[in-house]
Amino acid sequence: MSFTSSVKNEVSKLNTIETENIAELSALIRNIGILNENSIKIITENSSVARRIFGLLKDIYGVTPRVTVRKGYNYNKNLMYLLEVKYKMNVILEDLSLYQDNNYLVIPKEYILGDNESERAYLRGLFLSIGSINDPKKSRYHLEFLVDNEEYALFLVNLLNHFLLNAKYIKRDNKYMIYIKEAEKIGDFLRIIGASQALLYYEDIRIYRDHKNMTNRLNNCEQANIDKMIMSASKEVKEIELLEETGTFDLLDEKVKEVAKYRKKYPEASLLELSEIISIETGNAITKSGVHHRLKKIHDMIEKIKKN
């Protein structure tokens, strides 16, 4: 079962009050309903969503939809659930703010989203009908809805962003995709629609992935520092050898010669490690900055030789 199906199965079983149910059903029929003069047809691949719609129509309007199950035409031949309503059509459509004065409405009236809970319910219906969310364990973070109207897409973006979800939309062929890509915002959306079990799973995976990514970044940073240190030490050894080859090494003072000797002896040591080794073996304390200062004198002499 996909993560999307798992979330839909969970929220389809929530106990909610009638005002929330009306908002949820409005979103469901708006997005997967086929409306004509004779009937309202609603098609879904998810059996839990089909049961949810069946129950809402029966509880709110006292109608029993006719249910047909058939094989789909998509590549994996999923079962399709068709719910058909032929009675109280006008009452249902007008009550759900889908139809008014012989016109179908793109945007529902304000009373559908009368309070915060109704807004959450509408988003729940939106997800049950056309929502898709990637499993955080398998792929990148992504939540999307695909709608057929730009005005409606903008309405949904504003509704999602009312909850600070940073939703955006783009045109895709002749449709519009509303999407959220930030991991924390997707978690917030699951919380908003009441998918508590899915949220726990999602947050566990997200925290694990974030921790793993942080560890990888630290390891990469540490490796980069090691590589940088080795390259620097290798350059210092080459400069010391060049002074020896040109007969100018003896021009250095004894303290610089001492550091040069230990650099050649321990070519992979960091400056801090080199300072500790020299301090222990010679009994003369020297700091990391002291080692750096003396190695810089070697570098400066190399630069003078190159100029001359």
Regarding whether 159 and 42 lie in a shared domain, the answer is: yes
Q: Is residue 229 scored above 80 in pLDDT?
A: no
Average pLDDT, the chain: 87
Q: Write the CA distances from 5 to 9, 11, 291, integer angstroms.
A: 6, 10, 63
| Distance of alpha carbon 235 from alpha carbon 74, whole angstroms | 64
Q: Is residue 224 scored above 80 in pLDDT?
A: no
Residue 281 lies in a domain: yes
Instruction: Report pLDDT for 124.
Output: 96
Q: Is residue 211 scored above 70 in pLDDT?
A: no
Number of domains in the chain: 2
Instruction: Note the maximum CA span of the chain.
Output: 105
Residue ending a domain, among 147, 172, 194, is 194
Long-range contacts of 107-116 (CB under 8 A, 24+ apart): 107/151, 107/152, 107/155, 108/26, 108/30, 112/22, 112/23, 112/26, 113/23, 113/159, 114/19, 115/19
**Residue pointed to by tokens 């809970």:** 117
Regarding whether 156 and 33 lie in a shared domain, the answer is: yes
Regarding whether 235 and 186 lie in a shared domain, the answer is: no
Regarding whether 190 and 75 lie in a shared domain, the answer is: yes
Residue ending a domain, among 166, 194, 222, is 194
Here the tokens at position 298 are 């070697």
Domain that holds residue 134: 3-194
Regarding whether 271 and 186 lie in a shared domain, the answer is: no
Residue 182 lies in a domain: yes
Residue 206 lies in a domain: no
| Distance of alpha carbon 139 from alpha carbon 148, whole angstroms | 26
Residue 217 lies in a domain: no
Among candidates 98, 99, 85, 86, which has minimal Cα distance to 125? Answer: 98
Instruction: Report the pLDDT averaged over residues 280-300.
Output: 85
Instruction: Report pLDDT for 79.
Output: 86
Regarding whether 177 and 91 lie in a shared domain, the answer is: yes
Here the tokens at position 122 are 């509408």
Instruction: Report the pLDDT averaged over residues 188-204.
Output: 93
Instruction: Report pLDDT for 288.
Output: 87
Residue 112 lies in a domain: yes
Instruction: Report pLDDT for 267.
Output: 81
Task: Please spell the DSSP secondary structure of 7-41, one letter per residue.
Answer: HHHHHTT----HHHHHHHHHHHHHHHEEE-SS-EE
Q: Is the dihedral of CA 240, 245, 246, 249 positive or negative?
A: positive
Instruction: Report pLDDT for 218.
Output: 67
Residue ending a domain, among 194, 220, 251, is 194
Q: Is residue 13 scored above 80 in pLDDT?
A: yes
Residue 207 lies in a domain: no
Regarding whether 103 and 251 lie in a shared domain, the answer is: no
Regarding whether 157 and 257 lie in a shared domain, the answer is: no
Residue 223 lies in a domain: no
Q: Write the CA distances from 107 to 39, 153, 155, 169, integer angstroms.
A: 21, 10, 7, 17
Residue 8 lies in a domain: yes
Query: Would you call 69 exposed, middle or buried from its count of C-beta atoms within 10 A (0-12, 13-18, 19+)?
Result: exposed
Give 37-55 pLDDT, tens digit per residue: 889 999 999 999 999 999 9
Regarding whether 175 and 239 lie in a shared domain, the answer is: no
CATH number at residue 178: 3.10.28.10
**Angle 141-15-31 from CA coordinates, rounded to 5°:** 55
Please give the residue that has the higher pLDDT: either 285 or 54. Answer: 54
Regarding whether 60 and 157 lie in a shared domain, the answer is: yes
Instruction: Report pLDDT for 36.
Output: 84
Instruction: Report pLDDT for 77.
Output: 66
Here the tokens at position 184 are 């924390």
Regarding whether 60 and 163 lie in a shared domain, the answer is: yes
Please give the residue that has the higher pLDDT: either 196 or 230. Answer: 196
Regarding whether 136 and 46 lie in a shared domain, the answer is: yes
